Every structure is written in structure tokens, then in C-alpha cells.
Amino acid sequence: TRVGSSSDQEHGLVSTAEIGTLQLEFRYLSYVLVQQLHQIPPDQLHTMSLPSYLRDEDGNPRTVEELRSYWNAVENAMKVAREGTRTRLPSVFMNPADGEFIVSPVRLGSRGDSYFEYLLKQYLQTSRKERDLLRMWDDAIDQIHENLLLRTPKRDLLFVAELDPEQDQQGQISWRREPKQDHLTCFLAGTLMLSAAHTRGTNDPNVQSASIPPKPSDFEAGSRAARDWRTGEDLLKSCYDTQKTSTGLSPEIVHFRTSTEPDWVRQKARGEWYIKGAPPNEPPPLDARYILRPEIVESIFVAYRLTADPKYRRWGWKIFEAIEQHCKVPTGGYAGIVNVEDVPVQWEDKMETFFLSETLKYLYLLFSDDSVLPLEDIVFNTEAHPLPKFTPEWETAFM
């Protein structure tokens, strides 16, 4: 049998986001290849010139089973994740040799984010036929509500905390909840709203999506959909609040205020959240960077498409203006900045690829007509590439 390969980083472990972030692409690849194969009359398979991707190494036509191998590979990874996440959230690292999640932090930011994102998006991609993927998404969101969501004591801002493992002298593991939120985590706001609007809290594939904007009757009081919609809205409000810096740009990581915070936080922190500082005369911490990330504008775009509320366009425009003012390089291109609280800014000498594929794309779509890449017809992968929804021709492991 085939086994996972070790990385030369992170002690040979793989991240949860890695094992859960090729599904949309490989599933669609198998689907379109099989569709192309079906368009060729069987009696012509051995006589006509086939493209290389429909031929094996010996030049023979590939079979449907061979073309489905891409789907099967990523589906097997999801089957391993399914077994390891029953009744609990996954940690951010897995052993590739046996597929076991190891004791490591639990978070929706780095190394965890797109695993959660793809649970819902795989379900939507295959026309809501794979109900067990929705069950995995719902279970994860229930666990997040129970264990990770907190609110600040004064303004009631909602945020997603992290769980960090700690080991005592007897080797016993306990979990400390850290009020820390990555910019990456803000993808969850729009994804929760998308889930509520397009599933309405049911696994019925024929259910109609919510109205735009949703009517009170679209979400039953006290239902999963009503809860997730409100959580998405509230989280997006908190994420947008982190744009209130000297540059108008959100930092890489923020810590939120809590009712049990230590004295030094009460003495030094202002507002409902803060950026952990660096010692005097030292470079600013990595937490203070803005590296052109897209997750807040991604959720703003989704929220606008689902509500048509003009405030989301206002929010997006303010972010775009801040990027233009502080990140645009006179000689061409854009650069991340070292500290969102320092003006004039200090640039980093690079432009991340996701700035073009995601940040600018979502800002463009925010101001485009709803007929441009409609959410009813497509899903965006984690790099904002649109993939059409389809109905698989075969039984899958998650139906």
C-alpha cells in the first residue's frame, strides 16, 4: 500500500491544512477527465489520436478507474481525517506514516485553516450529494462554538481562540485557551455565512438557498443556520475591527482582551485587542506585519454577495484605499509592510502571490455584478480560483 511521505520540516510531520487542501482541485480534475473520455465513442478509442492526459505510459487509452485515481487519492486522505476527528477537533499536525493526529495546537489559522474551509466547499462542489462531508463540517463548527469562541468583556467582539497543549511533570496533557487570532482565521466568517445561506442547516440537497438578503423565515429561530449566520456576521465585524490601525490594515496576529487576562495586559493594552510587542530597540514582532493577506476581504465579498448590504462595499473600499496608500511601490507592484502601526511604513521586499490571486480578485468581485462568478454555480478554492459545481457520476465514500 502507498504511504504518506515525510517532510524535511516540522520533524517530518504534515499539517492538517496540507492533507485537506487538494480535494476540490483533484476531484474536479478526475471529473473533467472522465467527462472527456466519455465524449469519445468506444470504438474510436484505439484509432483516434488522444491527448496525452488520456493515454497511459504505453500510449493506450486510460480507463475510467485510472482517471478517478486523483479523486481516490484525496478522498483517502479525507477518510483518514474522518476517522481521526470523530467527536473532536483536529490538531494542526499529523503523522504521515499512520495518519494519526499528534498532540499539537488546535487552531483555525496557520496549518489548520483550509482543512475546515474545504469540508463545506467539497459538500457544495458536488451539488450537496456528499452528506457526510456536511456532517463533518457541522461537527467541527459545533466543537468550535463550544471550545474556541470567546467574546471581549467590553464591546462583546467575537473571536476564535486557540488551544495549546501543555504537559505537566507527570506527563499529563492539559489544554490552555489562548485569546490569539490569526488574520487567516477570518476566512471562517464568510464561510459560516455561506454555509447558513446555502444549506440552511439541513443536509437536504434540494433545499433552496436563503434569499438575498435572508428573510427571517429563512432561518428558524434557534436553528444551526441562524446560529452560524450570526456567528459569521459577528466574527466579520471583529475581523474588520482589527483594520483600525495607523495604516488601516490588519496585522498578521492579534490577541483579544478577556476577563481573565494577566495584569500586564490590563496595564499596557488599549482597546479590545492588541498586537504583542517587542522589547525596546528591537525590530517589530512578526505579528505586526501586513503581508497583503486576503481573508478579511474574502469574507467581506461573500457577505456582500449573500446580503447586498452596501456597508460591506464601504469596508472593502477602505481596505483597498489603505493598500493603495501604504503598500503600492512607486516602481511597480505592491509590498507587505513590517508594522501596521508605523507611518511612514517600512516595506518588505516581496509581494506574495496570493495578493494577485486572492486579495485583488476578491476586491474586484466585491464591486462586480452578482452574475460574475455567482456563488450558486461555483466554489472558490483556497487560492480564489473558481471551480464549477457538478454532480459526480459515481458513488463516493462520503455519500
Q: Catalytic positions, please?
A: 252
Q: What's the CA gap between 15 and 115, in Å, rounded?
A: 9
Q: Which of 293, 304, 190, 181 is nearest to 236 (CA)?
A: 190
Q: What's the CA gap between 239 and 316, in Å, rounded?
A: 12
- Torsion (CA) 367, 370, 371, 376 in degrees, nearest 10: 140
SS (H, E, C) 258-269: CCCCCHHHHHHC
Cell 466579520 appears where? 236
Instruction: State whether the Cα torsion 182-186-187-193 is positive or negative.
Output: positive
C-alpha angle 74-38-373 in degrees, rounded to nearest 5: 60
String of DSSP letters for 351-395: --HHIIIIIHHHHHHHTS-TTSS-TTTEEE-TT--EEE----SS-
Q: Do 51 and 32 contact (CB within 8 A), yes or no?
A: no
Q: Which residues fall within 8 angstroms of residue 178, CB to CB, at 6 or more apart?
A: 161, 162, 163, 164, 255
Q: Which of 104, 111, 101, 95 is nearest to 18 (CA)?
A: 111
Cell 511521505 appears where? 5
